[in-house]
Structures are given as C-alpha cells and as structure tokens.
C-alpha cells in the first residue's frame, strides 16, 4: 500500500536505528484513500557533511556539518489543514483578556447602577471617579497610564494577527483526511536519541531554531574524523522518513571531550 | 469546533487590542500636547462631562446597558475556552428512516486506542514500554465525527513507524464505522525513557 521507502538504501551505521518493524497493519486491511503523492527517489545526494575537523580552542577538536531536509510534497489543502490545525489558538491570552474584560464590565455595571440611584436617593458619590476630576491629561500618571494601555492594545493586536509559533510540527500524512504532527520538544528528544546511537557519540542534544535543527554531540574519541558526517546522515535520514511539511536545515556540531 | 475557538480568540483579541491601542494612543497624544482639538492641561473628567452625565437621565442607564452587553460577550468568550466539544455517542445509521443505531463515542475511542497500542508493538504481544501513552477522543457531530489521537512515545521509538501504525488504526476505525469521512488529527510527543 505504500511505495517502497526511498531511503532504505541509504548507508547508515549498522547499529543505527531501531529494529525494523513490520509496517503492514495487523489486519492487512487496505487503506482507504489514495496514497499521497510521494517524493521521487532522491538523486544521489551530495552533502557538505564531514568537513575536515579544524583546530579550535586550545587543542579541542570540533567539527561541524550541515544538510538540508526537503519538504514533503503534499498538495495545498493538506498543508493548509495541517497549518490550521497546529497554529496556536491563543487560549491563554484569550482567557486572561476575557476575564479582565468581564471584571471591568462588571465594575462598570455596578458603578453605573449606583450612579442611576444616586439621582433619586442620597447614595454617596462615586469616590473612585473624583480623582479623575483633578487629574489632568498631561499629568505623569495620566501619560503613563495612556502609554501602558496603548502598548497593551498593540500587544493584543500582535497576538491576534501574528500566526504564532506552533509547538507542533506538521508532518506528511498517508491519508487525505488525516493531519499528523509531532511536538517540537518530542522530535528534538527523539533526534537526540538517534544522534546518541551513532557509534562514538557519548551525548547529544538537539535544539530547534525556527526551521533549523541544531545537533550538538559530544564524543570521547580522540579523532572526530567522520563523526559529523555519520551523525548528520543518521539525523537527516530519520527526518526524511518523517517527511516534515516544511523544509528543515540540519546542523551538527561535534565536540571532542574526555569523560 | 476548536477551529472556531481559534477564530473567535483571534477576533476578540484584535477587537480589544484595537480599542485599547486607539484609546491609549489618543490619551497619550492629548497628554503630550500633540492633539490640536483638546488642551492637555484640562482634567480627565471635566466639569462639562460631569455636568452632562448629571443633567441627562439616560446617561447612566445607557452606560449600564452597554457594560452589561460587554459583560455577557466576555463571559461567553470565557466559557468558549473550556468547551471541548467531545462527543458522547455516535450515530451509525445515516438514514433516519431505518431507525437509529448509536455507539458510545468512548467505546469507539477505546477500541482505537487498543488498536493503536497493538500496532505500535506490531502484534508481538509485548507489554507497553514505559512512558508510552495513547489517548483518542471523538468530537464533532454524531453523524460526522472527527477523531483526535495523541500518542506519547519513548524517545527511542521511531515516530514514522508509529505514525504508520496509527494511520492504519484510524483507517480501520473508519471502515468499521462505515464512514466515508473521518477526519483525524494525529499528534505525537516523546518522553525520555533512558538515563
């Protein structure tokens, strides 16, 4: 039901990656819906992986490598649906704003009703309004308040109009009706475990910066050698299996350190 | 309905933000003497304003009514945040002339969860590894449900294999419910399971 994994022929370390799984559904049932348009088998790749390690910082050997993971080719509607599904809903900002708005409106209702009755009975006047009769527009307090209110309004406008940073990264789906994603933190944890399983890597950490993935790996080996290339192959191979809907850059930084 | 919540949230934030920005901006312009119409040295509530409010009987009732409307809108907006829109039961018979068949949405979600767990271990009958969690919920209308599937995987599990297994389980649920359309959202996360 799926096209063969175009990446399976990729040379990886023998102990890289989990044991291969039987990917066919247990029931063997065919999937409804056409399989999505898949990427064609990739052309032989040329990576700037594994540049010569260079000396840095008092004999410490460090080496960097870079690669690009292309975006999965998914049609427009699927991409839009995925983007809409994982866009921040601004729930926190909306909750706080709605609460404050409700509180302010309640105070106003009570004050206005009190003012209505003051006309007939002899309720004392609204004490919190009287200072406003003495404050002038150009008093520092008034100017500060106006500036704060203006900034707050601009902040809310920015929250409303900017798309926001999605915590979930959209991935390609096998099915038109399904939207799939993985949390950024979850993916970075997984990629760190992938990088840490490369022979010679003792520790690895992965961070996201926008659409780029920064892998920082440490090795006890005296010679860094081909390690950046191996790490970047392992990480990009896994990312290309996941087929993110946006292209991603991968950078690897390997640092030699004695344990 | 979460899409609607997102739209309402953004619209609400934009309206409140615009009102605050414009009001704050005008007050700032007046305070800094950049407004031609009004002098900056007058009180915030002038004698005229106070006199107008005191002299017109409708002023405070109108303010109270406007604030009440704002209050109701704000409370509705607030209540929208807590709504999950989850389904209690599914209706499996599209033609009401043939009677009605209902299925508990929780039962369908539970079956999906079991199927996903099964496919994550590829039928090997293993126990779930530490940290693995699968949670499914159905939302939408009884005749046109949507399914949301959240998976937490150990960080060494291959998410693309998990995605494949989950997709198969969703497809089987769609078939067994005899639905043409069952939109699904699969969301994955990982936890650290090794020291």
Let me know if residue A108 belongs to a domain: yes
Residues A214-244, buried b or exposed e (16+ Cβ, 10 A)? ebbbbbebeebbebbbbbbbbbbbbbbbbbb
pLDDT score at A38: 40
Q: pLDDT digit string (tens) for A213-256?
A: 999 999 888 877 788 888 999 999 999 998 888 888 999 998 88
pLDDT score at A78: 65
Q: How far is CA B75 from the centre of its chain?
A: 16
Q: Which residue has the higher pLDDT, A137 or A132?
A: A137
Q: How far is CA A238 from the centre of its chain?
A: 17
Q: Which residue has the higher pLDDT, B6 or A101?
A: A101
CA A69, CA A212: separation in Å to the nearest integer?
Answer: 10
Among partner residues B22, B32, B41, which is closest to A136 by beta-carbon distance? Answer: B41
Let me know if residue A155 belongs to a domain: yes
Q: A119 is in which domain, residue-wise?
A: 91-161
pLDDT score at A18: 41
Residues A40-72, buried b or exposed e (16+ Cβ, 10 A)? eeeeeeeeebbeebeeeeeeebbbbbebebebb
Q: pLDDT digit string (tens) for A28-59?
A: 334 333 344 444 444 444 444 444 444 444 44
Interchain pair A29, B175: CB under 8 A: yes
Residues A58 and A110 placed together within one structural domain of the fold: no
Is it the case that residue A23 has pLDDT exceeding 60? no
Residues A219 and A249 placed together within one structural domain of the fold: yes
Tokens in use for B5?
A: 């919540």
Percent of chain A residues topping a pLDDT of 70: 67
Q: Which of A236-240, B71-75, B171-175 has the highest mean pLDDT?
A: B71-75
Interchain pair A25, B64: CB under 8 A: no
Cα four-point dihedral sign A231, A236, A242, A248: positive
pLDDT score at B67: 95
**Among all residues of chain B, which has the CA nearest to that of A203?**
B195
Tokens in use for B45?
A: 């509530």
pLDDT score at A32: 39
Domain CATH code at residue A216: 3.30.300
Q: pLDDT digit string (tens) for B100-126?
A: 788 888 899 999 999 998 888 765 556
Which residues in A lie closer than 8 A to residue B191 (C-beta atoms)? Answer: 186, 189
The answer to whether A92 faces chain B, any CB pair under 8 Å, is: no
ipTM: 0.77
Interchain pair A98, B12: CB under 8 A: yes
Closest to A181 (Cα-Cα) out of A82, A62, A248, A94: A82
Q: Which of A161, A191, A215 is the last residue of a domain?
A: A161
Residues A250 and A217 placed together within one structural domain of the fold: yes
Phi, psi for B187 (deg, rounded to 5): -125, 125
Is it the case that residue B194 has pLDDT exceeding 50? yes
pLDDT score at B122: 65
Q: Are B158 and A18 in contact (CB under 8 A)?
A: yes
Q: pLDDT digit string (tens) for B79-92?
A: 998 877 778 888 87
Q: Which residue has the higher pLDDT, A163 or A19?
A: A163
Among partner residues B11, B38, B185, which is closest to A85 by beta-carbon distance? Answer: B185
CA B9, CA B77: separation in Å to the nearest integer?
Answer: 8
pLDDT score at B152: 93
Lowest mean pLDDT among A3-7, A56-60, A73-77: A3-7
Whole-number Cα distances in Å, A241 to A6, B33, B131, B167, B188: 9, 62, 23, 15, 15
Interchain pair B30, A137: CB under 8 A: yes
pLDDT score at B78: 93
Q: pLDDT digit string (tens) for A152-196?
A: 999 999 999 988 888 888 888 888 888 999 999 999 999 999 999
Let me know if residue A201 belongs to a domain: yes
Closest to B192 (Cα-Cα) out of B153, B163, B162, B166: B153
Mean pLDDT confidence for A99-106 = 95
Q: How far is CA A20 from the centre of its chain?
A: 28
Q: Which of residues 143-202 of A touch B (CB under 8 A)?
A: 143, 145-161, 168, 171, 173-175, 177-183, 185-187, 189-190, 192-193, 197
CA A76, CA A73: separation in Å to the nearest integer?
Answer: 9
**Among all residues of chain A, which has the CA nearest to that of B69?**
A105
Tokens in use for A110?
A: 């009570």
Residues A171 and A212 placed together within one structural domain of the fold: yes
Cα four-point dihedral sign B68, B73, B77, B80: positive
Q: Which of A102, A131, A161 is the last residue of a domain?
A: A161
Residues A81 and A96 placed together within one structural domain of the fold: no
pLDDT score at A47: 43
- List the CATH code of the domain at B89-93+101-191: 3.30.70.1350
CA B120, CA B128: separation in Å to the nearest integer?
Answer: 9
pLDDT score at B16: 96
CA B180, CA A32: separation in Å to the nearest integer?
Answer: 9
Chosen for mutation from A1, A15, A22, A26 (greatest number of chain B CBs closer than 10 Å) is A26
Interchain pair B24, A150: CB under 8 A: yes
Q: Which of residues 107-166 of B touch A (CB under 8 A)?
A: 118-119, 122-123, 152-153, 155-161, 163-165
Q: Are A6 and A241 in contact (CB under 8 A)?
A: no
pLDDT score at B172: 92
CATH 3.30.70.1350: which residues of chain B?
Answer: 89-93+101-191
Mean pLDDT confidence for B2-7 = 81
Total domains present in chain A:
2
Residues A135 and A247 placed together within one structural domain of the fold: no
Q: pLDDT digit string (tens) for B23-59?
A: 999 989 888 887 767 777 777 777 777 777 777 878 8
Residues A117 and A73 placed together within one structural domain of the fold: no
Closest to A244 (Cα-Cα) out of A208, A211, A210: A211
Let me know if residue A42 belongs to a domain: no
CA A85, CA A257: separation in Å to the nearest integer?
Answer: 43
Q: Which of residues 110-129 of A touch B (CB under 8 A)?
A: 112-113, 115-116, 119, 129
Which residues in A lie closer than 8 A to residue B21 (C-beta atoms)? Answer: 150, 153-154, 156-157
Chosen for mutation from B155, B157, B175 (greatest number of chain A CBs closer than 10 Å) is B155
Let me know if residue A18 belongs to a domain: no
pLDDT score at A37: 41
**Is residue B145 helix, strand or coil?**
strand
Phi, psi for A37 (deg, rounded to 5): -55, 125
Which residues in A lie closer than 8 A to residue B25 (C-beta atoms)? Answer: 146, 150, 153
Lowest mean pLDDT among A36-50, A94-108, B128-142: A36-50
**Among all residues of chain A, which has the CA nearest to that of B39?**
A137
pLDDT score at A128: 63
CA B3, CA B183: separation in Å to the nearest integer?
Answer: 14
The answer to whether A25 faces chain B, any CB pair under 8 Å, is: yes
Among partner residues A95, A156, A185, which is closest to B20 by beta-carbon distance? Answer: A156
Count of helices and strands (H, E) across chain A: 6, 7
* Mean pLDDT over the full length of chain B: 85
Residues A101 and A157 placed together within one structural domain of the fold: yes
**Is residue A16 helix, strand or coil?**
coil
Percent of chain A residues topping a pLDDT of 90: 26
């Amino acid at each position: 039901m799926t096209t063969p994994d175009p990446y399976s022929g990729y040379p990886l370390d023998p102990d890289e990656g989990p044991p291969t799984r039987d990917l066919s559904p247990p029931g063997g049932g065919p999937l409804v819906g056409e399989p999505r348009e898949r990427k064609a088998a990739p052309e032989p790749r040329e990576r700037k992986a594994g540049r010569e390690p260079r000396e840095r910082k008092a004999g410490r050997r460090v080496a960097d490598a870079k690669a690009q993971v292309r975006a999965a080719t998914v049609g427009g509607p699927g991409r839009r649906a995925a983007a809409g599904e994982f866009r921040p809903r601004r729930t926190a900002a909306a909750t706080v704003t709605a609460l404050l708005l409700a509180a302010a409106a309640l105070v106003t209702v009570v004050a206005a009703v009190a003012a209505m009755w003051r006309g007939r009975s002899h309720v004392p006047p609204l004490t919190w309004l009287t200072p406003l009769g003495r404050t002038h527009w150009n008093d520092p307090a008034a100017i500060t308040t106006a500036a704060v209110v203006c900034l707050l309004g601009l902040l809310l406008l920015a929250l409303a109009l900017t798309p926001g940073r999605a915590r979930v990264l959209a991935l390609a789906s096998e099915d038109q009706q399904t939207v799939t994603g993985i949390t950024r933190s979850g993916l970075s944890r997984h990629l760190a475990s992938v990088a840490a399983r490369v022979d010679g890597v003792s520790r690895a950490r992965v961070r996201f910066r926008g659409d780029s993935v920064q892998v920082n790996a440490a090795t006890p080996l005296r010679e860094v050698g081909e390690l950046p290339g191996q790490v970047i192959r392992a990480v990009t191979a896994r990312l290309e299996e996941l087929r993110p809907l946006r292209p991603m850059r991968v950078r690897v930084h390997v640092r030699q350190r004695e344990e | 309905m979460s899409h609607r919540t997102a739209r309402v949230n953004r619209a609400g934030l934009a309206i409140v933000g615009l009102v605050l920005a414009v009001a704050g901006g005008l007050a700032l312009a007046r305070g800094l003497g950049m407004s031609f119409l009004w002098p900056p040295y007058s009180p915030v509530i002038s004698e005229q304003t106070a006199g107008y409010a005191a002299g017109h009987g409708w002023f405070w009732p109108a303010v109270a009514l406007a604030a009440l409307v704002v209050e109701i809108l704000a409370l509705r907006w607030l209540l929208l945040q807590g709504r999950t829109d989850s389904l209690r039961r599914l209706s499996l018979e599209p033609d009401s002339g043939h009677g009605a068949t209902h299925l508990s949405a929780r039962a369908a979600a539970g079956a999906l969860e079991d199927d996903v767990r099964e496919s994550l271990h590829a039928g090997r009958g293993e126990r779930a590894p530490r940290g693995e969690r699968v949670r499914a919920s159905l939302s939408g209308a009884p005749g046109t449900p949507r399914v949301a599937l959240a998976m937490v995987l150990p960080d060494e599990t291959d998410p693309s294999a998990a995605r494949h297994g989950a997709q198969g389980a969703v497809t089987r649920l769609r078939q067994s419910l005899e639905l043409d359309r069952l939109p699904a959202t699969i969301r994955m996360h990982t936890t650290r399971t090794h020291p």
